[in-house]
Amino acid sequence: MKYTENMQQVAALQPDYLGFIFYEKSKRNFEGIIPELPNSIKKTGVFVNEYPEILISLVEEYGLDAVQLHGDETAEYVLHLKKQLIERRALFIEENKQIKKKKNQHKISKNQVEIIKVFGIKDQFNFDVLEPYLEVVDYFLFDTKGKERGGNGTKFDWTVLENYPYEKPFFLSGGIGLDDLEQLKIVLNSNLPIYALDVNSKFESKPGVKKIEDLEKFKKEISV
């Protein structure tokens, strides 16, 4: 998401997550203000090989509920980040107890910040690389491997996921659009631990602007 009015329109459809890209090289790079959103929607920051200190400062500034790591972040990086997020949240909670005026209190997610690690897939994938991350991430996200860090607008071969060997839930992403509804229903009815669908470029009129009618139709159809 990038523009306030469009955010509010999408939020009215009650998605579980809304994404905000904090990556200067992206045409969807976010630098604005996030309006008041329903508590049920998790504000998600998308980062690429960001310094942990900068990432944490943006989590705190925008009150993010989740972070999506699109770069080459190692399991050690993720573990360090996770510990820092837990410590900072505990500190903020304690500080808020001592602040009497609500308007001066810090924005804090009601839950610990979720960590989503992204991996790119094309025609094949070695799932062994996921093992070091199993204990340190909340979810994986499988996207299409391409030149850009997300937002390539193309699908990978979903049959590759038939070899996914873990119970860790994951987001399915990569060029998902209205044309994929029937195939998606088949995949969602499989035994794969698919937690969520991540949609983006196929529902845009331009980078960062989502087509509300298309999203509404997608949500309605995928729920059938």
Under the banding of pLDDT at 50, 70 and 90, the label for residue 147 is low
Specify the pLDDT at position 104: 58
Specify the pLDDT at position 83: 95
Under the banding of pLDDT at 50, 70 and 90, the label for residue 125 is very high
Specify the pLDDT at position 105: 60
Burial class (CB in 10 A: 0-12, 13-18, 19+), 217: middle
Structure tokens at 168: 């860790």
Under the banding of pLDDT at 50, 70 and 90, the label for residue 159 is very high
Separation CA 197–CA 174 (nearest Å): 9
Separation CA 157–CA 175 (nearest Å): 11
Specify the pLDDT at position 109: 67
Separation CA 162–CA 146 (nearest Å): 21
- The mean of the pLDDT values for the chain is 92
Any alpha helices (H) in 112-211, and if so which ranges?
Answer: 181-188
- How does 167-186 read in b/e, with b if 16+ C-beta sit within 10 Å? ebebbbbbbbbeebeeebee
| Residue 93 host element (H or E) | helix 75-98
Under the banding of pLDDT at 50, 70 and 90, the label for residue 28 is very high
Specify the pLDDT at position 102: 63
Under the banding of pLDDT at 50, 70 and 90, the label for residue 89 is confident
Q: Considering Cα of 74, then 80, then 81, then 86, what sign does the dihedral take?
A: positive
Structure tokens at 51: 């310094």
Under the banding of pLDDT at 50, 70 and 90, the label for residue 90 is confident
Separation CA 134–CA 69 (nearest Å): 14
- Dihedrals φ, ψ of 84, to 5°? -65, -40
Measure the CA dihedral 96/102/105/106, to 10°: 110
Which strands form 66-69's sheet, in the order they lie side by side? Answer: 17-21, 42-47, 66-69, 114-121, 139-144, 170-172, 194-197
- Side chain identity at residue 143, one-letter code: D
CB 20 within 8 A of CB 34: yes
Specify the pLDDT at position 61: 92
Under the banding of pLDDT at 50, 70 and 90, the label for residue 49 is very high
Structure tokens at 49: 């090989």
167 vs 153: which has the higher pLDDT: 167
Answer yes or no: is pLDDT of 7 > 90: yes
Answer yes or no: is pLDDT of 70 > 80: yes
Separation CA 75–CA 98 (nearest Å): 35
Lowest mean pLDDT among 38-47, 53-62, 143-152, 202-211: 143-152
